[in-house]
Chains A and B, each alone.
Chain A
Amino acid sequence: MKPDFRKCMIWLHTYSGLFLGWLLFAIFLTGTLSYFNHEISQWMKPELVQNKYDNNLIEESLRLLKLHGAGEQGWRINLPSKRDQLWSVQWNTGQDRGKLVLNPNDISELTVRETRGGDFFRTFHYTLQLREYGGRYLAGIAAMFMLVATFSGIFTHRRFFKDFFTVRKGQLKKTLSDAHALIGIVTIPFCIMICTSGILIYTTMFIPWGVDHFYEGGQREHFRQIIPSLAKLDKNSDLQEPLEDFALIYQTINENWEGDDQIDFITYQNPYRTNGRIIVQRVKNSTISSQADRLVFSASTSKLLEGYPQQSNASLTRRVFYGLHEAHFADTGLRLMLFLLGALASALIATGSIIWLNKRLEKILKPHVGHKLVERLNIAGIAGLFIAIIAYFYANRILPIELEDRASIEVSVFLWSWLGCLIYSFSRPALEAWFELILLIALGCLFLPVLDLMINADFLLNALENTRLPYLSFSFSQVVFGLLALKVSFWLRAKSRKSNKVQLKRKIRQQHGR
Chain B
Amino acid sequence: MTKDKAHISVQDLNVHIGGNHILKDLNIDIPNKSVTSIIGPSGCGKTTLLKTFNRLHDTAADVKVTGKVLVDGEDIYDPNTEITHIRKKMGLLSQRPYPLPMSIYDNVAYGPRIHGTRKKQDLDIIVEKQLKATALWNEVKDRLHSSATRLSIGQQQRLCLARGLAVGPEIILGDESTSALDPVSTSIIEDLFVKLKQDYSIVLVTHILRQAARVSDYIIFVYDGRIVEYGKTEQVLRNPREELTKEYVKGYIV
**A and B: partners?**
no
Report which B residues bind A (CB closer than 8 A). none
Report which A residues bind B (CB closer than 8 A). none
